[in-house]
Structure 1
Amino acid sequence: MAYNIPSHLKGLNQDEVNRARAKYGYNQLVAGHKSTWLELLLGILKEPMLILLIVISLIYVIVGNYAEAAFMLVAIVAVTAISFYQDNRSKKALEELKKLNEPLSVVIRNTQVVKIPTREIVVGDLCITEEGRMINADGIIVHSNDFSVNESSLTGESFSVFKDSTTTDNLVYSGTITVSGLAVFQVQKIGKATRVGKIGESIRTIKEEISPLQIQIQKFVKAMAVVGLVIFLLVCLFSYLNTHNIVGSLLNGLTLAMSVLPEEIPVAFTTFMALGAWKLMREGIIIKRSSIVETLGSTTVICTDKTGTITANIMQLKHLYDYRSDTVYAEGEFDDKALNELIDYAMWSSEPVPFDPMEITLHKIYEETQKNDLRRSYQLFHEYPLEGKPPMMTHLFENNEKERIIAAKGAPEAILSVSQLSDADRDKIRGVIETFARQGYRILGVAKSHFEGNDFPAKQQDFKFEFLGLTVFYDPPKQGIREVFQHIYAAGIKVKVITGDNAETTKAIALQAGIVNDTPALNGTEIVGNTEGDIIVLAERTTLFTRMFPDAKLAVVNALKKNGEVVAMLGDGVNDGPALKAAHIGVAMGSKGTEIAKSAASLVITNDDLQKLIVGIAAGRRIYTNIKKAVQYIISIHIPIILTVSLPLFLGWIYPQIFTPVHVIFLELVMGPTCSIVYENEPIEKNTMNQAPRAMGKTFLSINELGISIIQGIAITLGVLFSYQLTAQHGGSEEKTRAMVFCTLIFANILLSYANRSFYYSIVESFKNRNFLLVGISCAVLILLFIILYCRPVASFFEVTALSGSELTTALAVAAVSVLWFEIYKLIRRA
């Protein structure tokens, strides 16, 4: 956008910027803290699994088992490396998101207007702010054009304040919002030195609210930790009473504690969310908080603006209605002299430097049709910003000869209400408006006025206006928008349109866009005049909300939330800010959205393509489903480890200590990457977007889902213990029995990771969803297993012996039976 900035405003040069930054630092409330190696190490050492490994290592050193101690040291390094890898991926993803989320500011440097990251603003910079932008530093106004600012974030006062370089209060403050016009201000304070920065010191201590899924996962992990502690004490006591060997009893107890502790779950959750947000970022969807990814999948209602969201925001001028001649002129006829005054005043009522698509079009039509371009001769000296219900705006221009132009435009109802017309004329014009609106056109009324002196009315509606006519725009629905809404409806999500346009135009565009509507439209005044209970009922049953203003939009969003809906609000304007902030998921348009909309939203679609919202919802559902798969896998595979470690001991079988910490830690090293890396990479199942959204507060794992996982775990346990007894009863040594049990469990683990890729489709069908990581890790585990079995030094260390081909086949067959019965269950579900 071109800015009409006075030539004497040069801005800082690079040397001045460097000196200011060296003296005052960056424009940020909190200096970025990078963790030291010591902090990272201490953070890792706090992990329960590593504490257990260190304790076991020390016990092995004390009793002289140095080989086992060395293996545990290797395990500690491996667990640490996996943690670093996952943390690093998550942190890098979040850092990339943070960079994209950082707002840009417009400054003058070296006489050039440039956009820079807000944190790079320095004291002395000349910053430009305009309608809809957030002010990002404290400063003093040096140039302005009809500039007003909302300082409610600091003062609590909701009304906008007009300021310029000559007013008593000529200061602007970081965190406030430009309501109208344009201003250039010289930065005096940045970062923590600003007024909002001082307030922000207390805000820093407020923690981000954690999601319901996080709460449920935390509760589950804590419950498992308590179970682990109880079992640890029981095993230690039972083992000591039988053997009176305190070291052996401690090792038995710690082995079982390792098998119970589900430390993979929190790691998996963090990894899934961070990488999910990062993948969406690559799709052009910027997530402000990674936990929003989870909420996306729960969306039940999408509330969308019309202009620029459903429509292309092109604003083609299709017709002009001239009131004096009572004639409608079509596109191509606008050079008729009878339209000169209507075109003139339509342009004068627009911003001198237009950025709204309709105003850009009006300026263009003025250039094409008017022989004398008077825009340089007249200066805007007074303005009434867009306001009212429905809204209108008025501009007052004056030239050097003190000749004035007073032009107004706005919603046709607003202009009609302030124009001096007979009832019959009003009815006639309303008929014209209705005809256009039914065709989906966007209509503005245009009027002019005359006023002597400078004692202007407090309200623009108090001028005496002469009605001139109507400008009729067509903003067509975006290409492919019908398919987008078909996908939304197929996913069980409701759609509601919340717009400032009139009812007839909105109905026509909604019909063209494929939005399902069988109820009358409601306007903003009908909404706010009701009780909270009535608004909840109206919000739920109504699809089209028209002539909406910020309070009404906010009321609808809050009513839907109170009715249990998970609301995604789409908007791009200043007036959408409150509703975007209040919604579970505020979605702003990246290209045409205002800075206020982007800062209020929790998600930004960079190219304004509504199809991206479907991508986001699908990603949310995929991630939620995959986290559940990972957790169910962890539960199912932990059960046989726990029972295989404990039952031979409690039941007094021939080999009570069939697994030692060495075997359990190997299994843990297999399970960690499988659940957090492999399942995170799992593609979306083909029926996911044809299901109703889940309730956000719904228990993470239902009784049925938890029951299935427990049954899977018990089935695998039965298979593993069957291998134990089969080998032992045929005279197998402890090493042979351990090898059979270990092999059966490893085979079952691999098969389970494939079977649990879907709890609905068959394992064969799931192979169509390619996941190379799963294949790669499965192959790696098998290679390691064969090294353990057939490399003598390693086999000796793991206290196992080589198995014959028939024994391996038996172990695989038992594992297959104990896992693949689940395919019959899925077949019954599909049937």
Structure 2
Amino acid sequence: MVSDIQTESLVVGDSMLIEEGSSVPADGIIFHSNDFSINESLLTGESLPVFKNTESADRGIYSGTIAETGLAVATVTAIGLETRLGKIGTSLSMIKEQKTPLELQINSFVKKMVIVGAIVFLMVWVINFLHGHLFLDSLLKSLTLAMSIIPEEIPVAFASFMALGAWRLMKLGIIVKQMKTVETLGSATVICTDKTGTLTENRMSLDRAYLPHSGKFTDLNVTPDTELLLLMETAMWASEPIPFDIMEISIVEKYIKYCTNDKRTRFSMRHEYPLSGKPPMMTHILEDRNGNRVVAAKGAPEAIIEVCHLEKDQKKVVLKAIETLSSSGCRVLGVASADFQGTVFPKTQQELPMVFSGLIAFTDPPKKNIRSVMKDFYRAGIVVKIITGDNAQTTGFIAQEIGFRGAGHGMNGDELMKLSDSELQNQVKETQIFTRMFPEAKLRIINALKANGEVVAMTGDGVNDGPALKAANIGIAMGKKGTEIAKQAASLILPEDDLSKMIEAVAMGRKIYANLKKAIQYIISIHIPIILCVFIPLAFGWRYPNLFSPIHIIFLELIMGPTCSIIYENEPMEKNAMSRKPRLPADTFFNINELSLSIMQGICIALAALLIYRYAIACSFNESVVRTMTFTVLVVSNIFLTLVNRSFFYSILETIKYKNNLVPIIIAITIFLTLAMIYITPLSLFFGFFHLNSVQLLLCFMAGFISVIWLEGLKFFIRSKVSAAQLPNL
């Protein structure tokens, strides 16, 4: 008796009945089956169903897989976390998430600056207190310098860039689960992709046939002749009346397309021989009301050849045809028919007098856009590797079809697991195709690539991809056919299963990183003059040692915050960004080479502001005028620094054409507020400013302009020496 029970109630030793279309609730061993095949792509990545019975080398069925045809009765051998599915879930929980290199660098840089700010704060506090013996006044003045040192905009800029980047990716049709992935996208050096459903359509299309009488191969998209019509009709009769298997569905669809007189409703099943034998085949005997009989068989080509008793020469020709079709990445089935009019059916189908009808070939065709996607990856300097559970022959053919580099050099999962970690690290550098992979093997590949210093993006959809997706720097799950475990383990989801979206994601990642780099370099550049303008007058005992108060620093910070977080985030991607190689993971704009330019810009602005400071003192201007002129130089230089730093290669005349509506808005607001603070009396009194005359204002403008515009000369020199493609990697 068969009873329905909850999956949670299953225990080891129970018997379970698995029927066509049902999901397997636990791991088990088959002890009875009838025409049973199962789709294990969830665990293995194999695109085709696997036929299993009590005589199979692997009689196991596994939790989460789906029965394609027939039925099986199995004894439960593992439940819950002890199943293959459960063990993969356990391995996922053991993989720890890591911070990105840039995240670590930003945290380290800001912490160091906080420590420096705290030390300077205490020093200045003590110095001011010893001079004036005023506790609160000394505290306020030292706080001004501390505020100018701490670059609090950097973590704010990082967080806002990542959040806005995730929003922009979502608009492109890419779901971001972890915001930090946005930054990592731009530095991806290797992308590991599955084959089935990612590079291919994930559908078995009946595309070719071999016709023995004419001895020719034919494309099934052409108008059929009599022999081809007969072959397709025979293959249809050998399929289930209501097909579930993807290949049988394709056969019936092709039959319906060809036929002008559909005979299916006139015939009913008289006798059926289920899939059996090694290699397997199946036979259907159908009959109409008038006693007209059809006997049709299909199965493994070798099984069909054997029952048709072909002559030696005929057999040689057919085997050659099978080899030709198989080498093209096709799944080949043989088709045969028989003339049997008896009422006592033979015990086995192999006893029927079969006549060879031909061969039919199925392909899982590449996606239409995948060849251009491969070109885009290679153009961007990204290495592509195929990691699949499918076989080497099919994978190799698909690889050649899509223009994949390294299609001739592959490795299977068993070979990979025999290698030591150091051997595997060397092997993954040269090997581009990995076939018959299982979860442990995929995880080892990802870890070996990461150990080689690569930033790895991994695409997957099955449960077997879960550990590798989580371990990769960028885990990418497919939205349509992806399992829940794959989606939970991934950091990105492609809702349309379209790999071309990854090109857009990488481009977005590179743009975000480049713009974040500009923003941080801008922040460092503008902080230096603020620090020096506060510290130098105090340290050298100039006439007005405490020119700025916290309110002035706060205003400058309010200008810098929107500038770095909004203007630079909204900058378009520079030309040739996707023609350059990805940046190395160890690269950062916190090293001396990257910082030197920012420091130089900051020093030049500081020199301009301090020169105006000394000029104003030399002219015997009062403290309010000196403060106003120095502050104005900082604001003007900030505006031009924003414009000049939009590119460190292209000139300001080129970048001014970039479409970024926020640039004129933010600059207009800055100019308006500055002029209001100077020329609106209540505000000028509050900030301690004085109305500047036209000469003073022009002098401040020229000082601010000259302190920044010199970078255009450096950019011109760089352009004359190198092309954009030779610039440092993005």
Same fold (TM over 0.5): yes
Matched, 1:771 2:664: no
Q: Output the CA distance in 2 between the equivalents of 1:443 and 1:209.
A: 42
Q: Output the CA distance in 2 between the equivalents of 1:577 and 1:281.
A: 22
Structure 1 residue 242 displacement after superposition: 1.4
Matched, 1:747 2:622: no
8 Å contact 1:297–1:617 — kept in the other structure?
Answer: yes
Matched, 1:353 2:244: yes
Matched, 1:216 2:105: yes
Structure 1 residue 735 displacement after superposition: 0.6
Matched, 1:372 2:264: yes
Structure 1 residue 282 displacement after superposition: 0.8
Deviations 1:217-275 (A, max 9, x none): 11111111111100100111111111222221111111111111222122211111111
Which of 788, 794, 812 is equivalent to 2:677? 788
Q: Output the CA distance in 2 between the equivalents of 1:443 and 1:682.
A: 50
Q: Where do residues 128-527 of structure 1 align in structure 2 (5 Å cutoff)? A: 145=20, 147-149=22-24, 177-180=64-67, 209-313=98-202, 315-321=204-210, 328=217, 330-331=219-220, 332-333=224-225, 336-338=229-231, 340-345=233-238, 347-348=239-240, 352-354=243-245, 356=246, 358-365=247-254, 367=256, 371-372=263-264, 431-437=320-326, 440-445=328-333, 470-499=359-388, 503=392, 506-517=395-406, 519-527=408-416
Change (3 A) 1:432 1:249: same
Q: Output the CA distance in 2 between the equivalents of 1:413 and 1:524.
A: 27
Change (3 A) 1:811 1:505: same
Structure 1 residue 680 displacement after superposition: 1.5
After TM superposition, the score normalised by the length of structure 1 is 0.66
Q: Output the CA distance in 2 between the equivalents of 1:419 and 1:248.
A: 105
Aligned to 1:725: 614
Match of 2:22, SS?
A: strand
Q: Output the CA distance in 2 between the equivalents of 1:540 and 1:490.
A: 19
Q: Output the CA distance in 1 between the equivalents of 2:465 and 2:267.
A: 32
After TM superposition, the score normalised by the length of structure 2 is 0.75
Structure 1 residue 565 displacement after superposition: 2.1
Structure 1 residue 588 displacement after superposition: 3.2
Q: Output the CA distance in 2 between the equivalents of 1:556 and 1:649.
A: 59
Q: Where do residues 603-618 of structure 1 align in structure 2 (5 Å cutoff)? A: 603-618=492-507
CA RMSD in angstroms, aligned pairs only: 4.8
Matched, 1:806 2:695: yes
Q: Output the CA distance in 2 between the equivalents of 1:622 and 1:144.
A: 51
Structure 1 residue 308 displacement after superposition: 3.6
8 Å contact 1:719–1:744 — kept in the other structure?
Answer: yes
Change (3 A) 1:481 1:146: closer
Match of 2:584, SS?
A: coil
Structure 1 residue 379 displacement after superposition: 13
Change (3 A) 1:206 1:570: closer
Aligned to 1:542: 431
8 Å contact 2:235–2:296 — kept in the other structure?
Answer: no
8 Å contact 1:416–1:445 — kept in the other structure?
Answer: no
Structure 1 residue 644 displacement after superposition: 0.9
Change (3 A) 1:429 1:220: farther
8 Å contact 1:500–1:548 — kept in the other structure?
Answer: yes
Aligned to 1:821: 710
Match of 2:587, SS?
A: coil
Match of 1:656, SS?
A: coil
Change (3 A) 1:733 1:570: same
Q: Where do residues 586-597 of structure 1 align in structure 2 (5 Å cutoff)? A: 586-595=475-484, 597=486
Q: Output the CA distance in 1 between the equivalents of 2:591 and 2:572.
A: 23
**What is the one-letter code of the residue matched to 1:241?**
L
Change (3 A) 1:238 1:436: same
Q: Output the CA distance in 2 between the equivalents of 1:418 and 1:808.
A: 100
Change (3 A) 1:679 1:150: farther
Aligned to 2:290: none
Match of 2:330, SS?
A: strand
Which of 522, 527, 542 is equivalent to 1:653? 542
Deviations 1:766-789 (A, max 9, x none): 122221112211110100000011
Structure 1 residue 351 displacement after superposition: 9.2
Percent of paired sites with the same residue: 45
Change (3 A) 1:208 1:570: closer
Aligned to 1:13: none
Q: Output the CA distance in 2 between the equivalents of 1:204 and 1:575.
A: 14
Aligned to 1:689: 578
Matched, 1:644 2:533: yes
Match of 2:331, SS?
A: strand
Deviations 1:649-671 (A, max 9, x none): 11000001110111111111111
Aligned to 1:111: none
Structure 1 residue 826 displacement after superposition: 2.0
Aligned to 1:134: none
Match of 1:680, SS?
A: coil
Q: Output the CA distance in 2 between the equivalents of 1:426 and 1:550.
A: 41
Query: 5+ unaligned residues in a row in structure 2: which ranges?
Result: 8-15, 28-42, 45-62, 72-84, 287-294, 337-353, 721-730
Match of 1:681, SS?
A: coil
Change (3 A) 1:344 1:542: farther
Deviations 1:495-532 (A, max 9, x none): 22344555555445434433333743444554445444
Change (3 A) 1:829 1:142: same
8 Å contact 2:193–2:386 — kept in the other structure?
Answer: yes
Aligned to 2:74: none
Structure 1 residue 429 displacement after superposition: 5.6
Structure 1 residue 709 displacement after superposition: 1.4
Aligned residues between the structures: 636
Change (3 A) 1:206 1:476: closer
Change (3 A) 1:533 1:207: closer
Q: Output the CA distance in 2 between the equivalents of 1:685 and 1:643.
A: 33
Matched, 1:714 2:714: no
Match of 2:648, SS?
A: coil
**What is the one-letter code of the residue matched to 1:755?**
V
Structure 1 residue 704 displacement after superposition: 0.6
Larger radius of gyration: 2
Deviations 1:64-91 (A, max 9, x none): xxxxxxxxxxxxxxxxxxxxxxxxxxxx
Change (3 A) 1:613 1:324: same
Q: Output the CA distance in 1 between the equivalents of 2:113 and 2:563.
A: 20
Aligned to 2:645: 756
Structure 1 residue 151 displacement after superposition: 5.7
Match of 2:564, SS?
A: helix
Q: Output the CA distance in 2 between the equivalents of 1:743 and 1:447.
A: 87
Structure 1 residue 758 displacement after superposition: 1.5
8 Å contact 2:235–2:297 — kept in the other structure?
Answer: no
Change (3 A) 1:524 1:321: farther
Aligned to 2:339: none
Match of 1:683, SS?
A: coil
Q: Output the CA distance in 2 between the equivalents of 1:594 and 1:794.
A: 61
Deviations 1:388-440 (A, max 9, x none): 9xxx99999999xxxxx999868x899999999999999766633442355x4
**What is the one-letter code of the residue matched to 1:443?**
R
Change (3 A) 1:330 1:727: closer
Q: Output the CA distance in 2 between the equivalents of 1:516 and 1:571.
A: 20
